[in-house]
Chains A and B, each alone.
Chain A
Amino acid sequence: MDDRSFNNQRIHGMSDVVFECVLAYIHDSRDRQSISLVCRRLCELEAQTRKHVTIALCYTTTPKQLLRRFPFIESLKLKGKPRAAMYNLIPEDWGGFATPWVEELSKSFSCLKALHFRRMIVKDEDLELLARDRGHVLQVLKLDKCSGFSTDGLLHICSSCRNLKVLFLEESQVIEKDGGWLHELAMNNTQLEALNFYMTDLSQVSFNDLELIAKRCKSLVSVKIGDCEILDLVGFFRAAVSLEEFSGGCFNKQSEEYASLAYPPRLCRLGLNYMSTNEMPIVYPFASRLKKLDLLYALLDTEDHCVLLQRCPNLEVLEARNVIGDRGLEVLARSCKKMKRLRIERGADEQELEDEEGVVSQRGLTAIAQGCLDLEYIAVYVSDITNAALESMGMNLKNLCDFRMVLLDKEEVITDLPLDNGIRSLLSGCNKLRRFALYLRPGGLTDVGLTYIGQHSQNIRWMLLGYLGESDSGLLGFSRGCPSLQKLEVRGCCFSEKALAMAVLQLRSLRYLWVQGYRGSKTGFDLLTMARPFWNIEIIPPRKVNCGDGREMEHPAHILAYYSLAGPRTDFPPSVIPLASITQ
């Protein structure tokens, strides 16, 4: 990169110092991309002032290419495995190795302070290298749903990174050898603001270390831990005076013992695991302060949800299982007018394990649509649905950016299918939608409905289509629209290889495609219709997977296709097979 000090060039009559100043205020990556296309000098300036880069798939480029383009980044987010990995659909050894990135980052990226790996394979050696070469400057390390490392790697990080503000390990699969890493963190760090090992199996951590961290780190704002008895955390809660967010822990003792527990005064984001009806009252003293509530891993029934939510008028984010029921959603709609994000996950399938009222249907959705007008994100597993409920959402939820709905397969008969008209109303009403997922069943959406989706999704960038449409013509109709669609996931649909390939060619913004379940062609070569330069096509062949209980499940083949500047992968495991890619 050329030095900036001597060349006081002019761009369109203005000194580039002007542009440097202006660029400092422009953060959106799309705006910066546009700027970088104006002229070479602006491209250079923009590259020199770029602070953060997100690489949506680590195989789309190489570390060296990143270095050439953006040498001064302070923050990098890298994603590896397809999103389906979060549903146990992708082989563990699929790829997404952090090693080549860590090597280059440690060597050449002198300004890097924040690193976020999501769904990648990270090794202890990578963490050791990072700690050694970047330990003194690293402020943020997020190993988000990663695997491949142990607490030894964490030990290196915690010993060397004394300026670490954020250590995030949520849902990573960590091999646990001991709790020494947390002790090192407690001894060495006074800057910590956020600590997260939620949903990991790290259990050998000492609550004394947690307490020490709370005492020494005055800025500690967010702590999310694994299963640690809540009563052991009394000292921790007393010390963590700045704490605003807490999740994790569990309740193993008699309910009465929890009654006198005191929580930090600013606590407003909460997730208490294994909390049941009798322990719920401990939340009441500060329920009115709560902005975020995570009940995904609580042991509450529908009535409990109703009682609790009534006390949370300031709630903005709620995550719960569908045990909340339509009745709980009605209470939410009445009581929580500030709701922004709502996620209703699927509970246990066996009826005895969840409340019999624990189903969500058009009744609850309609209530939400009419009551929570500020809603920006909704993800919901429903047992029944109607077009009217979707129309209501389209009419009322004008701020909705992210809509995800899955129709569960328990009920044989659904009240009102197909959902063509409802989906059309939803999409044309919610014109800020950026992300959209619809997972139904055969008969849930016709080819006409699928074409509607294409026609009414101007701004949508990511879509998941599950069991939609009736035939290839639906997909082809769909792909004539969706002008902004960058990432498409398709599961369980009946489309042929040829139609998929042609759809890819028609979707003008598409840069990433994932498909599981499709109709193979007679020759097997129809997929190659979409072959073109820089477009990698990979297959994960059908395989048998052990799903516990000694059962084996047949997983159908996947197609993964994406644009890449790096050519085909060089690190394929046996479970992934490339189709040829054409390079120029």
Chain B
Amino acid sequence: MSPPNGTPPEKSKFLQTCNRLSLFLKEKGKIRDLNFGINAKFDATGTGLFDSVRSLKSPNPNSTCQSATVDLLSSIGEKVEEKPVDVVIPQYVILDSSSCELENKVEAKSSTAQMTIFYQGQVLVLDDVPAGRARDLMLMAKNGVETAKPKPPPVVDVSRSTKAPIKEDVQQAKDSDLPIARRASLHKFLAKRKDRASVRAPYQSPGGSSSGNEEHSFDLNL
């Protein structure tokens, strides 16, 4: 399935990066260290990030979620041997050299899961992603970052490094459609008032005349 029409340029760059790195990985034939810098305990035997997502019931294909299910995987390469995991408690995956044995340890269980990818403020939800392919994608993403720019210092001084793009994003925020939300009860009242005004005085300016002098009564007990 080709990506949906109107795919923004960033998305297709991402796809290209995924493709390139997948091929690179397959050549190298080795799972490399993947460190997200998360300060927490890990369980090396799980592929937890996606297990927890998989533990959801599979999404309704007709759901109103705007992100289309984009199959990034068909162009990536052959399917990795499926290694399903049956884990009750969600765990984080840590991919270091010791987890080369990972695929051997894991028993054959249900194969695919849902994957969610956040990219530039957009969310992609992918159905039926095998665990191995998911691992590949994670590696591609990580390696994509590393090749693009130097690894950031542990405490990110965001102000200096991001000042320039911030201005653009502020501009985007101005244009972006996030209007001030109205409280539901008032929203309902204002709509009712509009209907009431147009029924009672269709030829007068709304709110102009006093409502007490109308000839007919308007029963709001609909």
Contacts and interface: CB of A to CB of B under 8 A. Distances in A.
A539 interface: yes
A522 B145 contact: yes
Contacts of B56: 572, 574, 577-578
A525 to B, nearest CB: 6
Contact of B158 (A345, A471, A568): A471
Nearest to A250: B220
A557 B121 contact: yes
Interface in A301-320: 301
Contact of B163 (A86, A471, A525): A471
A88 B56 CA distance: 25
A250 B196 CA distance: 12
Given A553-B177, A574-B63, A352 B52 contact: no
Interface stretch (B24-32, B78-86, B99-107, B184-192): B184-192
Interface size class of A (residues with CB under 8 A): 35 or more
Most buried by A among B49, B217, B221: B221
B48 A297 contact: no
A252 B217 contact: yes
A519 B122 CA distance: 9
B42 to A, nearest CB: 8
A84 interface: yes
Contacts of A89: 181
A296 B177 contact: no
Contacts of A86: 183-185
Interface size class of B (residues with CB under 8 A): 35 or more
A139 B121 CA distance: 48
B97 to A, nearest CB: 21
B184 A88 contact: yes
A491 B178 contact: yes
B175 to A, nearest CB: 10
Contact of A346 (B53, B158, B186): B186
A523 interface: yes
A308 to B, nearest CB: 15
A348 interface: yes
A499 B121 CA distance: 14
B162 interface: yes
A353 interface: yes
Nearest to A545: B64
A470 B166 CA distance: 8
Interface stretch (B1-9, B111-119, B128-136): B111-119
B173 A517 contact: yes
Interface in B126-181: 141-142, 144-145, 156, 158-159, 162-163, 166, 169-170, 173-174, 176-181
A20 interface: no
Closest 4 A/B residue pairs (Cβ): A524-B118, A255-B212, A520-B121, A473-B159
